[in-house]
Structure 1
Amino acid sequence: MTASFQQHEGTDRSRADTRQQYFGTNAAGRPTALSGNYGSGTGLTPSNGTLDPREATIDRNVFRFGDQPNTNAQLFYNFVAPASENVEIYAFGGYNRLDGDIEYFFRRAGQDETIRSINPDGYRPILDSKIENLSTAIGLRGDNLAGFGWDLSTVYGLNTQDLNYDNSVNVSYGTSTPRRFNRLRSDFYQWTNNLDVTREISLGDAEPLKVAAGLEYREETYRLFSGAPAGYLNGGVPILDGPNAGRPAIIGAQPGPSNSADDRASLSRRSWAVYGDAEKTLFDRLLLQGTVRHENYSDFGSTTNFKVAGRLGLFGGLAARASYNTGFRAPALAQSGYNASNTLILNGQQAIVRVASVDSPAARLAGATDLKPEQSRNVSAGVVFGAGSFTATLDAYQIKVRDRIAISSTFQDTRLTTCLAVNGQGNFSALSYLTNAVDTKTRGVDLVVNYRSRIADGMFSGTLAGNYNKTVFDRIAGTPAPLAALGITTPLFDVTQQLRFSDSLPREPR
C-alpha cells in the first residue's frame, strides 16, 4: 500500500491594477461610469469624471495570475496471492482527492457585477473545487487453459467533481444574495471486463508463432447536475446605485451562472470488442506482426481497425522498422453532454461565454450537430541501432485524423445573441461548442539516443530525445448554415482555434 499527501502553494505574477476602480463624478455631482477596461484612471488613459478620493489609497494588488493552491491526498494498493497451483488472484486500485481554489478576474467597485453595499472596494470570486477518483480491479490469471495463458479481470472506476463559487454574488438578488453557490456537480462511471489469452505455437523453426486474443465488455455513464438555483435565477432586483441604477441587473452568480436545470445531462454507453494478434520472426531477422480489433458501440455502431508492423535486422546492430494502422475514437460522453458558462476576455472586455452541449437548444440554434467518431490512418518508418551500451532510434511518422473533435469558434455577434434571447437562450455574450470541425494531418520525426555505462560501483545513463512535427488542415468546416442565415460569416473553426491546433505547442525542442 502507498499513501501520499501533497500541499501545493499558489504563485502570483500579477501586477497592480491601475484602472479606475470607483465611479467618478461629473460637473453636476452625478456618478459617471468607469473608463476603459485597461490602464484607466491612474493608468494610461483618462478617467471618466472627477476621481473618487479612494483611488489614491486603494490597494491595487487585486488580481492573481499563476499557479493555484491545492492539496492532493492519495491511497493505492496492489495485491497478489495464489488461488491454486496454477492460478493466482490479484487486485489493485486506489483513491485520490484533489482540493483546490481558482481565483477569477477582479470585479471593480464601479462595475455592474458588484453590489457596492457588500463589496465597497470590489471583490474577486473563487471557485472551490473538489475532485475525487476511485478505482478497483480484481482478476484471475494462469498459464494453462487448454495450453493458453489467460487473464480474466474486471475494473470499476468513478470520478466525481463538485464545484462551488465562493466570495461571489448574484447581482439580481440585491443585498439578499448568497455569497456561496454550487456551480455544478458531475460524475463518471466506467466498468470494464476483459478476457485475454496468449500462446506460443511451435512451427518447427527457431522462433514460435506468438498469438493473442481477447474479449472486452464496457459500460460507462456520465451525469451532469444543475447547481444552486440562486446561482442562475433572476432575483428581480435592478442595479441599486451608480449611473446605471434601475436598469436590469446581470443574472446569475459571478463569474458565470451556475448550471441550470436545462443543463443537466445523463448519458450512458455500452460497448464490446474482440481482437486477435499474431507475431512471427522469420529467418532470424524479420519480425512481422498483425492485429485486428472489432468494436461495437451502443451509440455509434461498429468499427473494425487493424495494424501491421515489421522489423528487419540489417547488419552491425542496425535494423529498419515500419508500421501502418487505422484508429477509431468515439467521443467521450462528457464531450457530448457538458454545459457550462465561463468568463473570458473578448475584444478587451469581460464576457460570459457559454460552452454548450451539442444537443442543447442554444448550440442547435448556432449550428451544432451530433458528434461523430474520430477516425485515423497512421504510418511510421524508421531505423534502430544498438551497439554495446549505445542505442538510437530515428522514426518518421504521419497521422491523419478525419472528423477531429475540437472546440468551435467563439461566436459573438448581436444577431446571434438576439436570436438566442428570442428563443429563450439568453444571459450570455458568446457561444461555443464541440464539433467535428476539421481533418488534420500531422507529420513528424522522433529521435532518441541512449547511453548506459558502469562507472565504479554505479551506473551512468544518459538520454537525448528530440521531436519535430507539423500539423496542417486537410479540411476546415465553413460557417454553419443557421449562422450564415443570420448574416454571420465567422467560420466554424476560426484562425484562433486553428492556431491552437497547429502552433500552440513548439514543433521542436527549445
Structure 2
Amino acid sequence: MKFKNNLLNHAVKLALTTTTAGLFISGTALAADEQAKVTKVNKNVEKIAVVGTRSAPRSIGDSPVPIDIIGGEELGKSGNTDMLELLKGSIPSLNVHSMPISDAASLVRPANLRGLPSDSTLILLNGKRRHRASVIAFLGGGINDGAQGADISVIPSIALKQVEVLRDGAAAQYGSDAIAGVINFVLKDASEGGSFEVRQGQYYEGDGDTTQISGNIGLPFTDNGFANLSFQYKTADATSRSVQRPDAAALALAGVPNIAPITQVWGAPEVDDDISIFGNVGLELTKNSDFYMFGNYSERDVRGGFYYRNPTTRPGVYGGTIRDVNGTNMRRPGDDNPAAQKLWDEATPTVLVASLDGYDQQINCPLVELQANGAPDQAAIDSLSAANCFAFNQTLPGGFTPNFGGNITDTSLTIGTKGEFTGGMLEGAYYDISGTVGFNESRYFIYDTVNASLGPDSPRDFSPGKYSQLEKNFNFDLSKGFDFDLAYDVNIAAGLEWHEETFTVTSGDVASFTAGPLTEQGFGIGSNGFPGFKPSDAGEYTRRNYAAYVDIEAPFTEEFLMGLALRYEDYDSFGSTVNYKLMAQYHLTDDLNVRGSISSGFRAPTVGQANVSNVQTNLSSGVLVDSALLPPTNPIAVQLGGTELEPEESKSYTFGAVYTIGEVFLTIDYYNIQVDDRISQSEKIELSQSDKDTLEAAGVPNVQSLAQVSFFTNDFDTTTQGVDFVANYATDLLGGSSTFSLAYNWNETEVTRSTDITGAFKVSRLENDLPNHRGTLSWSQQWESFSMFTRANYFGEYQGVHVDYDATAKTADAAITLDAEVTYFLNDSISFSVGAQNLLDQEAEKLDFTVAPNNNWGGKYYETSPYGINGGFYYAKATYTF
C-alpha cells in the first residue's frame, strides 16, 4: 500500500493546479480561508483517473499517458443538452458533425477522436465496456462511412461524477475499438443529496426550441451502501437553414400545384420524448468486499428531412427520359409499337405512366411530355383517368419529400462484486468479477413517401424494419502488488474476458418492401428513399470472442515508472490477435516529467458490418439515385473487389511532458497512429446491366432502378499524427477566484494506401474534412453570489462539402465562436443561469455557387462545418440543489 499512498498524496498536490483541457471550473476555487482550501483539495482529488491503469488510480499529471478529466459539474456548465456537444466543447481532439440528411447517422451521430471514426474509440461506463449502437452510419460523411460506434448521446450529464478521456491507443488493455483512445463515463455514487434542473433554449433564428428537465438523487442503500438515480427528459424542435430549391421554384412558377415553400430542409432533426434513466448502486458486503450494479433505460424518437422528389425527374416514380448506364434512351416497358417507341426515344422528357389494367395494356396509355416550362402537359395528365392509366403527377403533382426517422431504445445492466482476498495464496490481491448485458434497437420509419409499384394504392407512411445490437460481457480481473525491492510495489494485474455480440435485422411491414402490380411497368419497389427489409434480408448474426491479458507496472525508482500490457484475443470468426503496450514516465524534477508509450492495436469488424444489406438514396454526380449496400461476401461485391472483412491493425506511439510552474499546469503530447486495412464503406460503384441482372436473380429489391453498389472493405491505410497542448492557471482576481484554461490540438491524417474501391473523393474527405487545428481558451470566475465563464473556440480551415458530392467541395475559412454563461446563486440551494453558445452568431461557411451552381439542393451552408450550421443558441436554466 506504500505505493498507492504515495501516489494519492502526489495526486492531491497536483490536483491544486490541475483542470481538464478547455474546461471551466465553478464553485469553491482558491478561497482564502483554510476551510475553503480543504474543500478545494477534496474536490480536486476527483481529478484522479481509473482509466489507463490497473494499478492505483492516478492524477492526470502523474499518468504515463495523456488523460483528461471532466467533472460532472463542469459538463453542466454548457447550454447544450447533447453529451456529444458537451464533450466536443471540452476536448479539442474530438469532432462531431451535425449530419443533416445523412440517413441513420442523423439518428445516432458519430464522433471522431483524433480524426478516426467513432468505432475507433472505446466507450466505458464505470470502467466496463459499453455496447455499440445498432445504427450503422451508411452516409457518415466520409470519415464515418459504415461506422458503428456506441450511442453516447443517451448519457445525461447530471448522472455523471466525471468523464475520463484517455487519449492513447489502449487495445492491449481493453480490447477492440481502443485505437484512438478510451472514454470512461463515471456515474455519481453519493448516498445523499441531489439536484433538479429545468433548462429552456432556442436558436437565434427562432427555431430548435429545446426543453430539458433532469434530476439526480442519492439515497442510502442500507447503512453500508448507496443508490444514486438520475433521469433526463428532453424535447427539441427541428431547425431549417434552407432556401427553396430552384427546380421547385421553377415548377411553382409554371403553375404546378402543391409545391411546398421549402421542399428540402437542411437542419437538426426533431427529437421527441427523449428519456434517459440511469442508476448506480453500491453495497459494502464485508470489510473486504463490495457489490455493485448500474445500468440505464433510454428511448427517443427522431425525425428529420430527406431529399426532395421532383415530380418530373425522379426515376421509378415520376419518370422523365430514362437512360441506361451508357446514356442510351430506354423504351417504355411494353412498347412494342415502333411508333410508340419513337415517341419515347425523342429528346423531350416524359412522365412515367402506368396502365391500371396491367403491363400488356401500357401501350394504350397516353405519353405525357414535359412542356418547355418544365411542367407536365396538364391536358395529357387529365386524360389518364379516362384511359384507366395512372401517374403520380395526378396524386402528388408537387412532388414529395420523405421524412426519415426512428425510435431508438437503449438499455444496459452490469452486476458485479469486487474486493480483496484475505487469505490463501491470493491474500492481498484485489478482484473484480462482473457481467454486463447491453441492448440497442433502432426501429426505422419513413413518412410522406410512396411504394411506387403500388400506384394509387400505396400508403404514405412505412416502417421499413429495425436493427438491434445485443452484447454480453463477462470479466474476471485480479490485481496485486509485489515487493521486488524497488521504490514501491510492482503491480501485476491479469484477467479474462468473454464477449458475445449479436446483430439482428427484422423485416419491415409488407408495404415497405412488396413488389406491387406496377413493378413490370417500370415503377420502383419499396418505400421510396428507404425500402423495407424483406424477410429474406432478416436474420440474426452472432460472434463470440474471449481474451486474456496481463498488465505490469514497475516503479524502478521514485522518479521512473514503466508499464507493460499484453493481450491475447480469439474470435470465432477470423482467429486470434496478440497486442502489446509499453509505457513509461520519468520525473526529471519535482515539477517536470516526461512520458511516452508505444503500442499495437486492432479493431474487429462488427457483426453488422460483416452481414448487413440495405438500399439507400444518395446523390451521384448531382443526380438522386438508389444505391445498394451489400455484404462484402455477396457475389456482386466479390465481383467488384469485395472480400471477407479482417481486423484493422494499428501501431501508435506518444511522447510528451508535464510541467508545473507555481499555479500553472502544462502538458504537451505528440501522437502518431498508423492504421492498416481500415474498415469502411467502399466508394459507390456504378452497376452495369449484367450486374443488375445478377442482383435481381439474388433477390435484391428494386434492382433495375439501382445505379450503384457499395460494401464494407479493408481497402486503405492511414497515418494520423498530432499534438495536444494543455495549459491551466488558477489565481485570485477581481475580488474572486479565477481559472484560465488553454487547450490546442493539431491533427493530420494521410491516406498512405488506397485503391479505386475507396475512391479519390473519399480520400480527400478522410484527409481534409476535419480542421487540422482546434483550440479553446476559457475563463471561469467565481464570486460569493455570482459565477461566470466565457470560452473562445477556434476551428481551423476544413474542407466544405455539400450533399456528399465532390463537385461542391472547397476549403472553408477558419472561424472563432464564443460561449458564455452567468449564474446567480439565490441561496445555497437555488441558482439561475443564462447563457449562449456561439454568442456572436458566427455563421457556418456559406455555399460557394461557383462550385455548387444554382444551389440545386436548397442548402445555405456546407454541412461539414465543425461548429454546426444552426448559428447562435441562447438558454436559461434553474437549478435546485439539496
1:18 is matched with which residue? 246
Partner of 2:400, secondary structure, is coil
Flag the 1:60–1:457 CA change in 2: closer, same or farther, 3 A: closer
Q: Distance in 1 between matches of 2:469 and 2:508?
A: 17
2:634 is matched with which residue? 360
Flag the 1:497–1:193 CA change in 2: closer, same or farther, 3 A: same
2:583 is matched with which residue? 309
Q: Distance in 2 between matches of 1:458 and 1:451?
A: 14
Task: List per-residue Cα deviations over 1:431-470 (Å, max 9, x = no partner).
Answer: 1111001111112222111223355996533221111122
Q: CA deviation at 1:315?
A: 2.9
Flag the 1:390–1:366 CA change in 2: closer, same or farther, 3 A: same
Q: Which has the higher strand share?
A: 1
Q: Distance in 2 between matches of 1:103 and 1:311?
A: 51
Query: CA contact under 8 A between 1:11 and 1:68: conserved in structure 2?
Result: yes
Q: Distance in 2 between matches of 1:340 and 1:468?
A: 37
1:162 and 2:443 matched: yes
1:503 is matched with which residue? 768
Partner of 2:511, secondary structure, is helix
User: 340-349 or 258-267, which moves further after superposition?
Assistant: 258-267
2:415 is matched with which residue? 138
Q: Distance in 2 between matches of 1:316 and 1:368?
A: 56
2:497 is matched with which residue? 216
2:729 is matched with which residue? 451
Q: Distance in 1 between matches of 2:690 and 2:743?
A: 48
2:549 is matched with which residue? 275
1:9 and 2:249 matched: no
1:76 is matched with which residue? 278
Query: CA contact under 8 A between 1:437 and 1:476: conserved in structure 2?
Result: yes
Query: CA contact under 8 A between 2:276 and 2:296: conserved in structure 1?
Result: yes
Flag the 1:438–1:118 CA change in 2: closer, same or farther, 3 A: same
Flag the 1:160–1:206 CA change in 2: closer, same or farther, 3 A: same
Q: CA deviation at 1:396?
A: 1.4
Q: CA deviation at 1:421?
A: 5.0
Q: CA deviation at 1:413?
A: 4.3
Counterpart amino acid of residue 293 in structure 2: A
Partner of 2:290, secondary structure, is strand
Query: CA contact under 8 A between 1:365 and 1:420: conserved in structure 2?
Result: no
Q: Alignment partner for residue 708 of structure 2, among 430, 449, 459?
A: 430
2:100 is matched with which residue? none
Task: List per-residue Cα deviations over 1:480-503 (Å, max 9, x = no partner).
Answer: xxxxxxxxxxx1111111122111
Query: CA contact under 8 A between 1:280 and 1:289: conserved in structure 2?
Result: yes
Task: List per-residue Cα deviations over 1:408-443 (Å, max 9, x = no partner).
Answer: 111124456545456454241111111001111112
In angstroms, what is the RMSD of aligned CA positions?
A: 2.3
Q: Distance in 1 between matches of 2:734 and 2:259?
A: 64
Q: Which runs of 5+ in 1 are unaligned?
A: 22-39, 43-50, 239-245, 478-490
User: 371-380 or 262-271, which moves further after superposition?
Assistant: 262-271
1:85 is matched with which residue? 287
Query: CA contact under 8 A between 2:464 and 2:513: conserved in structure 1?
Result: no
2:484 is matched with which residue? 203
Q: Distance in 2 between matches of 1:193 and 1:457?
A: 53
Flag the 1:94–1:59 CA change in 2: closer, same or farther, 3 A: closer
1:153 is matched with which residue? 434
Q: Distance in 2 between matches of 1:383 and 1:415?
A: 60
Q: CA deviation at 1:61?
A: 2.0
Query: CA contact under 8 A between 2:636 and 2:695: conserved in structure 1?
Result: no
Flag the 1:254–1:421 CA change in 2: closer, same or farther, 3 A: same
Q: Please show how residues 224-243 of structure 1 align to structure 2 within 5 Å.
A: 224-237=505-518
Q: CA deviation at 1:255?
A: 1.4
Query: CA contact under 8 A between 1:417 and 1:430: conserved in structure 2?
Result: no
Counterpart amino acid of residue 292 in structure 2: Y
Task: List per-residue Cα deviations over 1:135-189 (Å, max 9, x = no partner).
Answer: 0011111123521011111111111110022222111111111222221211111
Flag the 1:193–1:453 CA change in 2: closer, same or farther, 3 A: farther
Partner of 2:286, secondary structure, is coil
Q: Distance in 1 between matches of 2:617 and 2:661?
A: 56
Q: CA deviation at 1:111?
A: 4.4
Q: Distance in 1 between matches of 2:732 and 2:480?
A: 37
Partner of 1:364, secondary structure, is helix
Query: CA contact under 8 A between 1:294 and 1:304: conserved in structure 2?
Result: yes
Query: CA contact under 8 A between 1:266 and 1:337: conserved in structure 2?
Result: no
Q: Which runs of 5+ in 2 are unaligned?
A: 1-228, 319-391, 775-794, 796-882
Query: CA contact under 8 A between 1:256 and 1:352: conserved in structure 2?
Result: no
Query: CA contact under 8 A between 1:18 and 1:60: conserved in structure 2?
Result: no
1:184 and 2:487 matched: no
Counterpart amino acid of residue 506 in structure 2: F
- Normalising to structure 1: TM-score of the pair? 0.85
Q: Distance in 2 between matches of 1:273 and 1:457?
A: 56
User: 306-315 or 383-392, which moves further after superposition?
Assistant: 383-392
Partner of 2:536, secondary structure, is helix
Query: CA contact under 8 A between 1:417 and 1:429: conserved in structure 2?
Result: no
Q: CA deviation at 1:326?
A: 0.6
Task: List per-residue Cα deviations over 1:92-150 (Å, max 9, x = no partner).
Answer: 00011121112211223334525234323222212230010110011111123521011
User: 390-399 or 450-459, which moves further after superposition?
Assistant: 450-459
Task: List per-residue Cα deviations over 1:238-286 (Å, max 9, x = no partner).
Answer: 6xxxxxxx95212221113222233234211111111111112223211
Q: Which has the higher helix share?
A: 2
Q: Please show how residues 120-135 of structure 1 align to structure 2 within 5 Å.
A: 120-135=397-412
1:241 is matched with which residue? none
Q: Distance in 2 between matches of 1:319 and 1:233?
A: 66
Give the structure, 1 or 2, with the largest relative contact order (CA under 8 Å, sep 6 or more): 2
User: 111-120 or 228-237, which moves further after superposition?
Assistant: 111-120
Q: Distance in 2 between matches of 1:303 and 1:418?
A: 39
Query: CA contact under 8 A between 2:256 and 2:398: conserved in structure 1?
Result: no
Q: Distance in 2 between matches of 1:469 and 1:130?
A: 35
Counterpart amino acid of residue 329 in structure 1: R
2:605 is matched with which residue? 331
Partner of 1:116, secondary structure, is helix
Q: How many residues align?
A: 463
Counterpart amino acid of residue 497 in structure 1: K
Counterpart amino acid of residue 593 in structure 2: A
Flag the 1:53–1:459 CA change in 2: closer, same or farther, 3 A: same
Task: List per-residue Cα deviations over 1:190-209 (Å, max 9, x = no partner).
Answer: 11111111122223454221
Query: CA contact under 8 A between 1:159 and 1:188: conserved in structure 2?
Result: yes
Query: CA contact under 8 A between 1:117 and 1:175: conserved in structure 2?
Result: no
Query: CA contact under 8 A between 2:248 and 2:259: conserved in structure 1?
Result: no
1:266 is matched with which residue? 540
1:376 is matched with which residue? 650
Partner of 1:334, secondary structure, is helix
